[in-house]
Every structure is written in structure tokens, then in C-alpha cells.
Amino acid sequence: MQRALVTALLAALATPALATREGGASLTIYSGDYDAVVQSAGGFAPGHALVRERHRFELAAGANQVRVGGLPQAIDAAGVVFRALGDAQVGSQRFDFALAGQDELLRRAIGRTIRVEQAVGGERLRHAGVLLAAGAGLTLALPDGRVKVLSDYASFELDELPAGLSAKPTLRWDVQAPRAGSQRFDLDYPTGGLAWRAEYLVTLASGRDCRLHLAAAAQIANRSGASFSGAQITLVAGQPNRVAAPPAPKAMRGEAMMMVADALPTPEASGEYHAWRLPGTTDLPDASLQRVPLMADARGVACERRYETRAGFGGWQPPTPIVEPGFGVSGRQPVLATLAFDNRKAAGLGQPLPAGRVRVFEHDGALLGEALLAHTPANAKVELELGTVFDLDAERRREDFRLDRAARSMTERISLTLRNAKPQAATVRVVESLPRWSEWEIVEASGKWDKRDAQSIAFEVAVPAGGETTVSYTVRYRWAPDVRIP
């Protein structure tokens, strides 16, 4: 069925007092759910923000009804707070969230007079009658008593907007005023459909020493269903726990903009989180992505480029010792390129780094890789995994396994061969998980190793240009008499 835009005229006998907004809104936007906000197309609206608006109403003495429209479709109406700044008293609140979409208009127009335009051949036929049913087509009761079923139509028109429908979500309140005149109110509400994340650009300097240039911006996504003009925006790195999510907004248009800030935001503590208050005001249209500077560029930050290979056991801990001889990873495994630096003032940084995407480039513009950075406090170490190295390879083998049930122990010997096709030597960090049981000891190793945590060790292995190096170790696991094994 061909469908077109609907023309509807609103005629109301008693119109509530309309709000006059004073200045732009104040938005506090939380990080987290950024990708979900950008990609969501229905259901619930991810993301979280707190909005504060100030409105002015002209009130009559006594009972009044006031309303604020143009609200986000993702608003959480249960969290709305409406406060009078004068001597008015706020009573009950109503939220009108039935929006004037075509299907909803037709459903609520049943029993009303409707005018329908139908395209037949090259002509336009017009029908008027009382709408009896709407679904796959329209059923009209015509003035002469006939009933007409239209399976196809071009457009329809109503004399007025059916009660309870709005072009945008609308909040209404009953307000008692002791006198006539203008009064101000603060409106606070939470909404979904807003999120942000950090975007980092790292460029490595030329030369033998590893130094990097770090630039940071914030990417803000608005899919709330409302636009905010002249808003004061605070970005919070953190995601408070929420009980329920609000409805999702409409699909996002492909609109992206850049704001040039007169000054950079300054990070400040905000309860359990960190906050960045953007300077000046910002326009944040609905269905847009906004990129704003986040912090001053950091130049000459000391860094370290590494190669690393590890078996994919993760941090899993078994409930009982794993005594199957074939357990574990054998065969080829990739060597990864990593970039590490200290988030300290002495290294050229030393400030909170909110979670986001990091893109790393060589000094000549070649992309080394991308990584996701978690929320990183000052004085913490940053390690970024950038991708697989083409000219380095690792192969892991189990050389021996022995189980001694009487002694409540098992011994396993592992070897790893590292190959280097590069024209220069390389040092590869080999990380080995010890996943069979929590109590272990290294009884023999071909080289120096370090204990990383309760279940892993690491070797630093030098691999010559065009050559290979093998590292091996033997680990013994033990368990107590009360521990059962299969």
C-alpha cells in the first residue's frame, strides 16, 4: 500500500499553558553503551543522560494546567522532577507518549470523519466518510449509507488530532498559583539515547626511542528523539547502575558535526566518576554524532613497543585439577604487536583517560592498529594490543605429561618455538597460562621467567633476524588430599 504524509489539524477548546524555555538545557551524559546507541534500531534505548531545563509559565490565579512538549522519545518519565521556584504548588503529572504516527492516527480516528485521497490511473479520487476500520485498508461509512473499502490510498486527512496524541512526547502538570503572573520551574529528567566515548589518536615519533603524540576527543551520540540547542554539556566517565531502560528512539540519520571549542574541558571528580565540563554551549541535534575536543594533546610521551604471544586460556580457574593429557593449546599461535606507556606526569601524561577507541599510526601515517582503552586512572599503565605481526610466528607443543595419582601431582613439559622473518632481531614476550590447577611450581625452564599473576608466567625471548628460538619449561601441579580428581 502506498502511504503518504498525513495532514492533521489540532483544535482544542482548552489549551494548557505552554512553557517558555529559559536558556539551553544542562546535559550530563554518561559513557557506556556508545556503540549500542549508534546502532540501535528499536526496542529499548541504551545510553543514559540527565537533563535539566528551566521553563517559565504565565499562570492564572488558582488552578492551572501547564505542559512541556518536544521531549525525548527515550525519556524515563518515572524519573521526572518538576519544581516550582516560586510560590506555586505542583500537583499531579501526566505523560502523553502516544505519538502521531500514521498507524496510531488511524487507530484513534475510528468513528471519526476522515477524507481519503486515492490514485486511480491518472486521476485522484476523493472520499469522505466515517472511518469504520483500519488495517490492510480503510473501511468508510459514506454519507449516503454505503460502505466503501479502500485497499489502496495515497493520503488521508483528519479535521483534528485525536485526543491523547502528540507530535512529540509531552508532560503535563496541574499547578496551583496563589496569584496571576509569570513563574519559573526547573524540569529534571533522565533519558536514554545519549552516550559518548573517547576517541584517541596516537602518532609514533620517528627515531630509535619510542615516543608518542596523543590527541583525545569525545564522540557524542544523540538518538534520544530530541534536539538540544545551546546546551551546557558535562561528560561523565562511568555508567551508573540502572534498573530499567526507556523506550528507544527513531532510527538515526547520517548526520555528523564538529564543534570547535574556545577552551578545553577540565577533568574533575564527580562522586565515583570523572567528569569533563565542555566550555561554552553546544548544539546537539537529534540523530547526530558530535565530536568535541576532550583534553590537550600530550607530546613526547615515553612508550614501549612490544611483541607478545600467549595461549588462549584466559583467566579461567578449574573447580578440580584437569588431568586429561590432551588438555590445552598446541600448534601455531599468533604474535601480537602491543604498545605500552605509563599514564604518569613524568612520562608526559598523568590524567584520567576515559574509555574509548585508540587508533595508532606510524610517523609516516601508516596505521598500526586499533584498540579499545578501558577507563584508566592517573598513574596506571596502558597496554594496547594493535594486531597480528606478519613476520613473527610461534608454535606451542606439549613435550610430555605425567600423572601420579598416589602423589597427588601431575607434571607437564611445554615448548614454544618462535620464528622471525624480519631483517632485524626481535624480542617476543611469551605469556604462558598454567590452567590445570591453582597450586603449581616451575621445576625447570630453559630461560629466565617472571610470575605475572596466580596462574601465568612470562619469558622475554630474543629471536635473531631470519632465525628461530625455542623456549621450554616444566610445571608440576599438586593438590590436597581432600581434592577429588576425575
**Has residue 144 been placed in a domain?**
yes
Select, from the ranges 68-77, 157-166, 299-308, the one with the highest average predicted confidence (pLDDT).
299-308
**Has residue 408 been placed in a domain?**
yes
Band (pLDDT 50/70/90 cuts) for residue 159 is: confident
**Has residue 176 been placed in a domain?**
no
**Has residue 173 been placed in a domain?**
no
Reported as a single tens digit per residue, the pLDDT across 423-462 is 999 999 999 999 999 999 999 999 999 999 999 999 999 9
**Has residue 226 been placed in a domain?**
no
Q: In what order do the strands lie in the sheet with 170-177?
A: 17-18, 62-68, 170-177, 89-96
Instruction: Determine what percent of the chain is predicted with pLDDT higher than 70.
Output: 86
Q: Which residues, at least 6 apart from 192, have a Cβ–Cβ distance to it below 8 Å?
A: 37, 44, 45, 46, 47, 48, 49, 72, 74, 76, 224, 245, 246, 247, 248, 249
Instruction: Provide the pLDDT for residue 270.
Output: 52
Reported as a single tens digit per residue, the pLDDT across 376-417 is 999 999 999 999 999 999 999 999 999 999 999 999 999 999
CATH number at residue 141: 2.30.30.520
CA distance 428 to 337: 9
Reported as a single tens digit per residue, the pLDDT across 195-220 is 999 999 999 999 889 999 999 999 99
Mean pLDDT of 92-110: 76
pTM for this prediction: 0.74
> How many CA atoms within 13 Å lie on the side-chain side of 264?
12
> In this structure, what DSSP letter does residue 102 have?
H
Amino acid at 242: R
Residue/partner pairs of 75-79 with CB below 8 Å, 24 or more apart: 75/169, 75/189, 75/190, 75/191, 75/224, 75/246, 76/189, 76/190, 76/191, 76/192, 76/244, 76/246, 77/169, 77/171, 77/189, 79/189, 79/190
Contact status, residue 167 vs residue 101, Cβ threshold 8 Å: no
* Domain-ending residue, one of 160, 186, 205: 160
Does residue 146 have a pLDDT over 60? yes
Please give the angle made by the CA atoms of 258, 260 and 261, to the nearest 5 degrees.
135
Domain that holds residue 124: 102-160
When divided into structural domains, the chain yields a total of 2
**Has residue 181 been placed in a domain?**
no
> In this structure, what DSSP letter does residue 44 have?
B
Pairing of strands 409-420, 468-478: antiparallel
**Has residue 470 been placed in a domain?**
yes
Reported as a single tens digit per residue, the pLDDT across 352-383 is 999 999 999 999 999 999 999 999 999 999 99
Instruction: Provide the pLDDT for residue 215.
Output: 96
Mean pLDDT of 470-484: 96
**Has residue 397 been placed in a domain?**
yes
* Domain-ending residue, one of 160, 185, 208: 160
CATH number at residue 452: 2.60.40
